[in-house]
Structure 1
Amino acid sequence: MQTSPKGIAFLEAHEGVVLKAYRCPAGIWTIGVGLTAASGVVVPKAGMTITRAEASELLAKALRRNYEPRVAAEMPRAKQHEFDGGVSFHFNTGAIGRASWVKAWIAGDWKKVQSGLNAWVKGGGKVLPGLQRRRREEFDVIRHDRWPANLKIASNPQKPNVAHAGIVISLSADEIEAISAGLAKLGYDPGPKAGVVRLDAVTGFQRDHDLTVDGLIGRATLSTLQRELDARSKTKGAVAGGLGGGALTGAGEVVAPDHVPVSDLTDFAADAIASWAGPIVLALVAAYGIWMAFHYRDVVAARIQSLAPGLARWLRSF
C-alpha cells in the first residue's frame, strides 16, 4: 500500500516543503519535506536547491524506502485513511513499531488508540502544542477519515500581502502568537495584530539568515527562528553558569600559613580548592562557548553578516 494524495498533502502541511537546504533546530541540513541525509534519498548541503517536482519525488522515494513498508507490516489490513494516518505518525516519530496505540488499533479499542497517540506529544522533554494538534488530527484521520480544512496549504499557501506574511504549513493561532513573540525577542517587530505577522519582520529575518526571502512562514523560517532562540537561551545559561562560579574565580591566590588551627581547616581547604577550581571553571565555560559558536555557526553568521560577509558565507558553507 502507498500513501494517498490526501496523505501526502497532510504530511506536507505539517512538515512543509522547502526548496533550499536549511538547518533543522538540531543543526542538521534538511531539504524538501523534512528530509536529511538519514533519509537515504538525498544529502542536503549548504546552498543546495531543488524544484517542487524533485521535492515530491524525494518524498515518494523516502516513503517507499523507509516508512510505508513498516507501516504496512505493523498495520495489516488497514484502510487507506488508516494507513495514511499511520504513515504520518511514523514519519514524525519513527516509532510505529513500538507505539502502544497500534496494538489498540488492531484490537479495535479506539479509546486506547486516542490516548496512545496523545502520549507522543513531547519534544526536548516538553509538551509541544503543534504535536498535540498533529496527534489529534491523525486520530481523526485514522478513526473517522476526517481531514483538516487546510490540507493543501503547502501547495496552495496563504500568500503574503503588502502588510502581513503568508503561511505555508499548518499552524494554530497559539503557534502564530509564539512566532510573533520569538521574532520580537530577536528585534523584529511582528506588529500588534493577533493571528498575523508583519511582512517586513519575516522578510527581514529571512534576509539576515540567508533564507529565501519570500515573506512566507514555513519550516525553514521556523527552524531557523528556533535555532536563534535556542542559541540565545543556551548562551545566557552558559554566562549564568560562569557568573555562578564567580566566588571561585575571584578567590585569588591562596598562601598556606605555617600553622592552621583545626577549626580553620575546612575554610582553608575551600580556599585551596578555589585557587585551582577557578581556572578550571573558566576553561570549561570557554570550551562550552567554543562548542556553542561552532554548533550555532549559522546564527553567528547572521550576527556578523553586515560586518564580515565573507566570513559569514564561510560559516554557512558547512
Structure 2
Amino acid sequence: MQTTSPRGIDYLESIEGVVLKAYRDPVGIWTIGGGLTAASGVVTPRPGMVISRKEASRLLALALKRSYEPRVRKTLGNVEQHAFDGAVSFDWNTGAIHRASWVKAFLNGNPTKARAKLMLWVKGGGRVLPGLKRRRREEADIILLNKWPAHVTIARNPSKPNVAFAGLAISLSPDEIDQVAEAFRIIGFDPGKRSGRISLIAVSEFQRKYDLRVDGIIGKATLSTLQRELDARKGAKKGAGGAAGGAAVAGGGEAVAPGTGLPDPTSLDPALLKWVGMAGGATAGVYLLYLAWHYRDMIAARIANRLPRTAKFLRSF
C-alpha cells in the first residue's frame, strides 16, 4: 500500500510549516504541527498546547493515513512515488484530488495538459495568489519530472537567526520575504532595510507581544498572527467608516489569507477602543462587537502590559 515518502513529507512540511505551540490560523482556528486543526480528527489544539517534533510528525502521518493517502491512491492508482508525493501535497492543500481535471490528463499521459490544469488551482479569496502559483509549479515538477525544490528540508533544518536577521522555518521566496517585511513595517515593527532579510529584533519583539514562541524564526505561527493583525486593522477601519484596505502575507507555499492592496499604516488602538462603544446603527454595532470577539487575541496583545489577567483570559479560548 503506497504511502507518502520521507521526502514527500519533508516537502509538505516545508510548505505548511511545523509549529510546536498551538496558534490561531488567520481566521482564528487553533492549529498545531503541520497545519493540523480539530477538523483533522487526529488532534484538538488548544491554547497553550505544546507538542514535541516527534509528536508533530506522528500526527501528520496519522492525518495522511486516515484521509489524504487513501483518496490519492483511489484517484491515481499505482503511480511512481514522486507522483504520489506531489499529489498528496496537492490534496493536502485543496482536498480536491478526486475532482481535479489535471488528474485525467496525467493518467492519459499528457504532461503538458496536466501541468496547465494544475496551474488553474492558484486562487484564494477570488484572486490569484503568488504563493499558490509557486506551490503548483513545484508540485507539477515533482509529479511530472521528479524534480524537487531546494527548500525541501527547511522545516527539519530551519535557517537559524543570526545577530541581525531572523531565520526561516518555511519556504519563502525573496519577494515573499519583502512582502512580509512590509507587513511588519505597517504594524510598527522595523524590519530593517535589507531586501530579502528581516530584522531579528522586529521578529522577536513581535513574537513576544503576541504570545508566540520567541525564537526569532519566521514560521507559520508568526505569519498567521501577522495576517490576523493586518485583518484586524482592516476590519476596525471598515467598522469605523474608513476605506478597508487589506494585505495577504505570504505563508510558504500559499498566501495565508486573501486581500488586495496594502492597508494604511494606521494605529489600531483608537479603533479598538471604539469597537464596543461606537454608535453607528445596530448593524455597525453588531459588526464591531463581532470584530472585538473574533480578534480578542489582538486586543490581548495590546493590553497585556496593563491588564495581564484580562489578556490571559482573552487568550484562553
Q: Deviations over 1:114-142 (max 9, x none)?
A: 11111111122221111110000000000
Q: Deviations over 1:182-235 (max 9, x none)?
A: 000000000000000000000010000000000000000000000100111121
Cα distance in 1 for partners of 2:181, 2:126 equals 23
Instruction: Write out aligned runs for 1:198-213 (5 A).
Output: 198-213=199-214
Q: What amino acid sits opposite 1:135 in the alignment? A: R
Cα distance in 2 for partners of 1:280, 1:312 equals 25
Q: Deviations over 1:158-184 (max 9, x none)?
A: 100010000010101111011000000
Instruction: Answer yes or no: is the 8 Å Cα contact 2:166–2:203 preserved in 1.
Output: yes
- Indicate the SS of the match to 1:240: coil
1:68 positional shift: 0.1
In structure 1, the residue matched to 2:222 is 221
The percentage of counterpart residues that share the same residue type is: 58
Cα distance in 1 for partners of 2:48, 2:314 equals 12
In structure 2, the residue matched to 1:273 is none
Cα distance in 1 for partners of 2:208, 2:159 equals 20
Cα distance in 1 for partners of 2:127, 2:213 equals 30
In structure 2, the residue matched to 1:95 is 96
Q: What amino acid sits opposite 1:108 in the alignment? A: G
| Alignment pair present for 1:150 and 2:151 | yes
In structure 2, the residue matched to 1:123 is 124
Unaligned 5+ runs, structure 1: 243-278
- Indicate the SS of the match to 2:22: strand
Cα distance in 2 for partners of 1:135, 1:72 equals 20
Cα distance in 1 for partners of 2:121, 2:174 equals 21
Q: What amino acid sits opposite 2:168 in the alignment? A: I
Structure 1 residue runs of 4 or more that deviate by more than 2 Å after TM superposition? none
In structure 2, the residue matched to 1:317 is 316
Q: What amino acid sits opposite 2:104 in the alignment? A: K
Cα distance in 1 for partners of 2:223, 2:127 equals 17
1:281 positional shift: 5.1
Q: What amino acid sits opposite 2:85 in the alignment? A: D
In structure 1, the residue matched to 2:248 is none
Q: CA RMSD in A?
A: 1.4
In structure 2, the residue matched to 1:231 is 232
TM-score by length of 2: 0.87
In structure 2, the residue matched to 1:283 is 282
Q: Deviations over 1:9-65 (max 9, x none)?
A: 000000000000000111100000000000000000000000000000000000000
Q: What amino acid sits opposite 1:303 in the alignment? A: R
In structure 2, the residue matched to 1:266 is none
Structure (1 or 2) with the greater helix fraction: 1
Q: Number of matched residues?
A: 282
Q: What amino acid sits opposite 1:14 in the alignment? A: I
Unaligned 5+ runs, structure 2: 244-277
In structure 1, the residue matched to 2:70 is 69
In structure 1, the residue matched to 2:5 is 4
Instruction: Write out aligned runs for 1:37-186 (5 A).
Output: 37-186=38-187
Instruction: Write out aligned runs for 1:257-276 (5 A).
Output: none
Q: What amino acid sits opposite 1:10 in the alignment? A: Y
- Indicate the SS of the match to 2:153: coil
Q: What amino acid sits opposite 1:159 in the alignment? A: K
* 107-116 vs 54-63, which moves further: 107-116
